């Protein structure tokens, strides 16, 4: 009887750990939860993400049903597959995402949140670094099919 009573606190602690671990895994099981846990706003990627892979080396692959367009400050074109290296606060070496600037589609190269307190996100489109408000990316946008 005493042995069972001494194991009771251990059992409850183990049960508590299990529930906390399960809640954490569920929170980051979506791509938007993963972005948030890595210091990036969840609205960088559209709601229509079909699946994703995130390797231990930091390679992030995001899959959509097909190319689609979303609106932020300008239009963004997502290819059916987006690749990038994901580290805390940044997506580098981005492939499969372009942004419209003055009627031209320019590839997005890097996306960085250097200082979350600043409320700014930096998007490298090759010819320029755009600073935008993080509030533009709070919620995942809807993406409409594109023929490109």
User: Which residue, 96, 84, 94, 76, is CA-closest to 137?
Assistant: 76
What DSSP string runs through 101-119?
Answer: ETTEEEE--EEE-S-GGGT
Q: What is the CATH number of the domain that holds 98?
A: 2.30.240.10
pLDDT tens digits along 31-66: 999 999 999 999 999 999 999 999 989 999 999 999
Q: pTM of the entire structure?
A: 0.77
Question: Which domain, by its residues, includes 123?
Answer: 31-145
**Is position 10 within any domain?**
no
Residue 7 to residue 34: CA distance in whole angstroms: 36
Q: Three-state DSSP class for 124?
A: strand
Q: Is the pLDDT of residue 85 over 90?
A: yes
From residue 130, alpha-carbon distances to 20, 39, 122, 133 in Å are 39, 18, 6, 10
**Is position 49 within any domain?**
yes
Phi, psi of 59 (to 5 degrees): -75, 125
Number of domains in the chain: 1
**Is position 68 within any domain?**
yes
Write down the mean pLDDT value for the chain: 85
Please measure the distance between the N-terminal and C-terminal CA atoms of the chain and give it in whole angstroms: 71
**Is position 24 within any domain?**
no
**Is position 92 within any domain?**
yes
**Is position 129 within any domain?**
yes
pLDDT at res. 116: 85
**Is position 44 within any domain?**
yes
pLDDT tens digits along 136-147: 999 999 999 987
Q: Is the pLDDT of residue 99 over 50?
A: yes
Q: Three-state DSSP class for 18?
A: helix
**Is position 11 within any domain?**
no
Q: What is the rounded average pLDDT of the residues 78-101?
A: 97
Q: Is the pLDDT of residue 29 over 70?
A: yes
Which is more confidently placed, 8 or 19?
Answer: 8
User: Which residue, 25, 6, 5, is CA-closest to 17?
Assistant: 25
Which is more confidently placed, 78 or 128?
Answer: 78
pLDDT at res. 148: 59
């Amino acid at each position: 009887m005493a042995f069972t009573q001494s194991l009771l606190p251990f059992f409850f602690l183990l049960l508590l750990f299990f529930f906390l671990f399960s809640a954490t895994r569920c929170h980051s099981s979506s791509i938007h939860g993963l972005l948030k846990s890595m210091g990036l706003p969840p609205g960088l990627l559209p709601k229509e993400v079909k699946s994703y892979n995130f390797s231990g080396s930091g390679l992030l692959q995001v899959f959509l049903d097909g190319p689609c367009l979303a609106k932020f400050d300008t239009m963004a074109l997502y290819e059916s597959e987006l690749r990038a290296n994901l580290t805390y606060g940044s997506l580098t070496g981005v492939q499969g995402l372009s942004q419209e600037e003055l009627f031209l589609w320019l590839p997005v190269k890097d996306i960085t949140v250097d200082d979350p307190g600043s409320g700014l996100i930096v998007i490298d489109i090759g010819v320029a670094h755009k600073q935008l408000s993080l509030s533009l990316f709070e919620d995942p946008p809807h993406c409409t099919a594109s023929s490109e």
